[in-house]
């Protein structure tokens, strides 16, 4: 008797592949939306241990974007934000000195506010632009009209201040490598501030890696947008909620998006590797006049804050890959995603 094999039809094939085309996208979407609960308590429940609090981050973002307002370079609001930032980092420096005096912890905090002038080239839409920059102050992110600049980039300023607060107040925290927090002006006017820091500041030559915090949206997980060394991808794996994709960087490299930011200045002039992390969800409010705190999805700031804090803590520790980092910039890594002597940003240096 001849054997009969069951023939797969189109319907059977579709039913067999349904879990692949339906379940996997749903799982991916769920993972994309998996945000931590926003914290409004400064201390972990039942302890005296400080924790990253979204309420503190959004408080900074609200003050900058809604009380000070539009911080376009050269405006009175821009000057007010600069003065406010100097006061904040000076308070943190004073707090650091008091902690050292009372506890003997091995901490040293420095504050530097830079002004200067210079020039640099910018490649845009296949053309080279020659930029002059004058009287720039590296201390806080600026903004661009018509946006008050909550997501881009007041939230990142709040994240950095919150990381500084928690690090200093954690009794058992120690560091092997210094951290530079750079609150940077004139990014929206074609990266004048980051260029000034990279080419003229005495701390610039000590940098071995950079973490650039950015936003082009107001919702969803903070996305690891690009990583330029395998060691930094490994460092990112130590954050509590890693999230990244190669696809995002491929789109950016294609030239479809006519945009750039401070990360390119650090790559080109400091010749270092690093990570760039973005808030990208619901980007229709990016650089728009409704970029207010009330329109930021709950937990977005908490997610960026917790990941940034974990990453900084790891890179400053004895386990840091800083000593083994490549001596210069390498092409963006395309691996799957599952400073320090100096790290990130100017404003306050912990070493």
Specify whether the CB–CB gap between 213 and 160 falls below 8 A: yes
Q: Answer for the pair 81, 63: CB distance below 8 angstroms, yes or no.
A: no
Task: Report the first-to-last Cα separation within the chain, whole angstroms.
Answer: 84
Helix (H, G, I), strand (E, B) or coil at 306: helix
Peptide bond into 137 cis (omega under 30): no
Length of the chain: 351
Q: In angstroms, how far apart are the furthest CA atoms of the chain?
A: 94
What is the full per-residue pLDDT of the chain (351 aa) written as tens digits? 455 556 666 777 777 777 777 888 888 777 667 888 999 999 988 888 899 999 999 999 999 988 987 887 778 888 888 889 889 999 999 999 999 999 988 888 888 887 766 665 555 545 544 434 332 323 345 556 667 778 877 899 999 999 999 999 888 887 888 898 988 876 666 667 788 888 888 888 888 888 999 888 888 888 888 888 889 999 999 999 988 776 666 666 665 555 667 887 888 888 888 898 888 887 777 767 777 889 889 999 999 999 999 999 999 998 998 888 876 555 544 433 332 223 333 344 455
Residue 227 forms beta bridges with which residues? 275
Q: Classify the phi-psi angles of 233: left when phi > 0, otherwise alpha if psi is within -120 to 50, otherwise beta.
A: alpha
What pLDDT shows up at residue 70? Answer: 81
The sheet with strand 179-182 has its strands ordered as: 109-111, 347-350, 179-182
> Rounded distance, CA 92 to CA 161, Å?
9
Which residues carry out catalysis?
Answer: 187
* Rounded Cα gap, residues 232 and 116, in angstroms: 31
Edge-to-edge strand ranges of the sheet holding 219-227? 219-227, 273-281, 207-215, 342-343
**Could you give phi then psi for residue 333, rounded to 5 degrees?**
-75, 150
Pairing label, strands 207-215, 273-281: parallel
| Backbone phi and psi for residue 287, each to the nearest 5 degrees, phi listed first | 60, 30
Coil, strand or helix at 304 = helix
pLDDT of residue 41: 92
Cα(209)–Cα(232) distance, integer angstroms = 8
Given this model, what pLDDT does residue 188 score?
64
0.85 cut: is pTM over it?
no
Confidence (pLDDT) at 150: 80
DSSP 152-194: IIIHHHHHHHHHHHHHHH-TT---SS-EEEE----STTTSHHH
Which stretches of 114-156 are assigned E, i.e. beta strand? Answer: 118-124, 127-133
């Amino acid at each position: 008797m001849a054997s009969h094999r069951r023939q797969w039809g189109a319907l059977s094939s579709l039913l067999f592949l349904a879990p692949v085309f339906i379940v996997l996208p749903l799982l991916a979407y769920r993972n994309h939306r998996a945000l931590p609960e926003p914290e409004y308590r400064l201390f972990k429940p039942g302890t005296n241990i400080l924790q990253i609090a979204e309420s503190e981050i959004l408080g900074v973002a609200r003050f900058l974007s809604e009380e000070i307002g539009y911080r376009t370079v050269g405006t009175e609001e821009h000057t007010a934000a600069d003065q406010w930032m100097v006061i904040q980092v000076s308070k943190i420096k004073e707090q650091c000195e008091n902690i050292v005096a009372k506890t003997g912890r091995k901490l040293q905090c420095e504050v530097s506010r830079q002004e200067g002038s210079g020039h640099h080239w910018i490649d845009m839409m296949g053309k080279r632009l020659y930029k002059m920059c004058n009287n720039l102050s590296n201390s806080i992110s600026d903004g661009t009209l018509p946006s008050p600049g909550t997501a881009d980039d007041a939230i990142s300023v709040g994240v950095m201040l919150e990381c500084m607060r928690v690090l200093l107040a954690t009794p058992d925290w120690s560091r092997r490598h210094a951290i530079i927090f750079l609150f940077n002006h004139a990014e929206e006017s074609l990266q004048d501030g980051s260029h000034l820091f990279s080419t003229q500041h005495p701390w610039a030559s000590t940098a071995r890696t950079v973490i650039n915090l950015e936003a082009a949206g107001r919702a969803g997980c903070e996305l690891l947008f690009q990583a330029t060394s395998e060691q930094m991808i490994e460092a990112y794996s130590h954050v509590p909620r890693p999230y990244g994709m190669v696809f995002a960087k491929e789109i950016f490299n294609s030239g479809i998006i006519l945009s750039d930011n401070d990360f390119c200045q650090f790559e080109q002039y400091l010749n270092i590797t690093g990570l760039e992390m973005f808030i990208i969800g619901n980007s229709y409010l990016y650089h728009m006049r409704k970029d207010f705190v009330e329109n930021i999805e709950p937990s977005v700031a908490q997610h960026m804050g917790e990941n940034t804090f974990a990453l900084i803590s790891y890179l400053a520790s004895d386990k840091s890959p800083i000593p083994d980092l490549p001596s210069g910039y390498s092409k963006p890594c395309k691996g799957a995603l599952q400073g320090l002597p100096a790290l990130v940003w100017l404003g306050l240096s912990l070493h």
